[in-house]
């Protein structure tokens, strides 16, 4: 599981870099496990160069024990062997041996799915494929078994009807928070395969903020601009750390009996015309995050943290192509593990997220040589998030980054 958490962190870091080319000073919010698991379903049936490109971009072929489930050089214990008639019951070994990337995702998704009155997390993935393509039955069985998902065949010639169907599914899976994922005209009659991922997260703070303590304060976008925000406040025992060489402070806020955390990375100073977060983002890896959070110490803290809502949508096709995943979206795509018919490719891949942070909690629908110095423990320490910061929602059991966010502007 550690290897998969590292892959998630590596993909997160790469995705930030490509987003920053067009969104350097913008808010960002995405869910890497949702993106990776959705494309993991496609990787299950990808072969040859298509699979190799996917593995490289998604960082799913780098960890020991992660087998290549779909490429030509896969052993006889292939994740989804292509046969005309599947056996009555699918043998365990045909849907991924223990230790493969797909079995690791199954374990991760099983561990992540939580639902009680204080904590709910749902990650749902689905593929929509053209009904004229003969899909491999064992592939469909494996997708359902490993990713708790289905491939639904539709007729994209009725593109508007299909668009509404997909949007309804997404809205249902996200408790009504994400609506109209696909806008009118965004799905074309020539579409052959659509990848969709939906995430819903709703959790109460382990220590709730009192609403009467929330006041309006200035949030500084940079050294020149500021806007009014509703700033929550509470004093209590919280885990904090200081990373001098990164000029950064860290605060950890717990959810769900400490099963999940929001980790906030706050630079000490503002930049003149930017968020001031570039150094932190460029240095963020799973290893460094582990080092930084290992320095957290509990002390008495005055916490000032804004309420906010974000809604973001990403054309994954655009960004993943730029990251090197090209064949999958072109006529060169080899998805013969999904369908024997030539011409199957991914035509559209969209990722949309929504998050709301308030006094009760959060509702969301993603270096060598650095010295870490534990905080000296003053009588009272102040953590004032009144300028751009990074926030990560982390599962404390698997250490996986569930969501990555950058809050730059109200």
Q: What is the pLDDT along the chain (410 residues), one digit of tens a residue?
A: 577 888 898 999 999 999 988 787 789 999 898 889 888 888 988 899 999 999 999 998 743 322 333 333 333 333 333 333 333 333 344 675 566 778 888 887 777 666 666 777 777 778 888 888 788 888 888 888 888 777 888 998 898 999 899 889 988 888 888 888 888 888 888 787 887 777 777 888 888 888 999 899 999 888 888 899 889 998 999 999 988 888 889 999 988 778 889 999 999 887 666 667 888 888 887 788 888 888 899 999 999 989 888 888 888 889 999 999 999 988 888 888 888 877 788 877 888 888 878 877 665 663 212 222 233 344 557 789 899 999 999 888 888 888 999 998 88
pLDDT recorded at residue 55: 93
Please state whether beta strands 348-357 and 193-204 pair in parallel, antiparallel, or not at all (unpaired): parallel
- Domains, the chain, with CATH or none: 2-204+310-356 (3.30.497.10), 211-307+360-407 (2.30.39.10)
110: part of which helix (H) or strand (E)?
helix 101-112
What is the DSSP code (8-state) at residue 200? E
Residue bearing tokens 């004229």: 132
Cβ partners under 8 Å of residue 222, min gap 6: 270, 271, 272, 273, 274, 275, 276
pLDDT recorded at residue 127: 82
Q: With a threshold of 0.85, does the pTM exceed it? A: no
Which of helix, strand or coil describes residue 245?
helix
pLDDT recorded at residue 280: 87
pLDDT recorded at residue 96: 56
The CA distance from 363 to 353, in Å, is 11
pLDDT recorded at residue 71: 36
pLDDT recorded at residue 319: 94
Residue bearing tokens 């959790």: 203
The CA distance from 381 to 334, in Å, is 56
Residue bearing tokens 């932190």: 280
Q: What is the 3-state secondary structure (H, E, C) of 214-237?
A: CEEEEEECCCCCEEEEEEEEEEEE
Q: In terms of DSSP H, where are the helices of 174-295? A: 278-283, 286-294
The CA distance from 218 to 381, in Å, is 20
Cβ partners under 8 Å of residue 256, min gap 6: 114, 116, 118, 119, 203, 204, 206
In this structure, what are the phi and psi dihedrals at residue 126, rounded to the nearest 5 degrees?
Answer: -155, 145
Are 172 and 178 contacting, i.e. CB atoms less than 8 angstroms apart?
no
The CA distance from 241 to 20, in Å, is 26
In this structure, what are the phi and psi dihedrals at residue 279, rounded to the nearest 5 degrees?
Answer: -65, -40
Identify which of 207, 212, 255 has the alpha carbon closest to the alpha carbon of residue 230: 212
What is the DSSP code (8-state) at residue 120? E
272: part of which helix (H) or strand (E)?
none
Which of helix, strand or coil describes residue 2?
helix
The CA distance from 79 to 97, in Å, is 8
């Amino acid at each position: 599981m550690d290897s998969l958490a590292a892959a998630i962190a590596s993909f997160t870091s790469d995705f930030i870099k490509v987003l920053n080319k067009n969104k350097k000073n913008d808010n960002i919010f995405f869910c890497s496990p949702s993106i990776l698991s959705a494309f993991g379903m496609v990787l299950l049936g990808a072969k040859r160069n298509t699979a190799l490109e996917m593995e490289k971009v998604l960082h799913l072929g780098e960890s020991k024990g992660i087998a290549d489930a779909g490429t030509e050089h896969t052993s006889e214990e292939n994740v989804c062997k292509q046969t005309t008639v599947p056996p009555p019951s699918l043998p365990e070994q045909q849907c991924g041996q223990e230790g493969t990337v797909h079995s690791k995702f199954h374990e991760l998704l099983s561990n992540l799915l939580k639902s009680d009155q204080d904590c709910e997390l749902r990650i749902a993935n689905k593929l929509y494929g053209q009904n004229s393509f003969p899909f491999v039955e064992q592939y469909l069985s494996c997708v359902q078994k490993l990713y708790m998902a289905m491939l639904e065949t539709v007729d994209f010639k009725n593109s508007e009807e299909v668009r509404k169907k997909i949007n309804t599914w997404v809205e249902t899976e996200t408790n009504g928070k994400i609506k109209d994922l696909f806008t009118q005209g965004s799905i074309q009659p020539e579409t052959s395969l659509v990848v969709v991922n939906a995430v819903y997260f709703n959790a109460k703070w382990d220590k709730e903020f009192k609403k009467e303590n929330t006041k309006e304060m200035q949030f500084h976008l940079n050294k020149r601009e500021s806007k009014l925000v509703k700033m929550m406040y509470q004093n209590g025992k919280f885990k904090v750390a200081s990373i001098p060489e990164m000029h950064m402070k860290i605060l950890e806020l717990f959810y769900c009996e400490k099963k999940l955390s929001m980790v906030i990375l706050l630079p000490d100073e503002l930049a003149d015309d930017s968020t001031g977060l570039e150094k932190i983002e460029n240095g963020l890896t799973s290893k460094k995050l582990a080092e930084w959070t290992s320095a957290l110490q509990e002390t008495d803290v005055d916490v000032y943290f804004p309420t906010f809502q974000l809604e973001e949508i990403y054309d994954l096709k655009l960004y993943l192509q730029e990251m090197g995943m090209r064949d999958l979206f072109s006529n060169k795509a080899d998805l013969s593990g999904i369908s024997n018919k030539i011409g199957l490719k991914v035509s559209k891949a969209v990722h949309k997220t929504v998050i709301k942070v308030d006094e009760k909690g959060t509702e969301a629908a993603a270096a060598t040589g650095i010295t870490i110095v534990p905080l000296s423990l003053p009588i009272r320490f102040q953590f004032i998030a009144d300028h751009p910061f990074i926030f990560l929602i982390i599962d404390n059991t698997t250490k996986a980054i569930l969501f990555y966010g950058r809050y730059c502007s109200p």
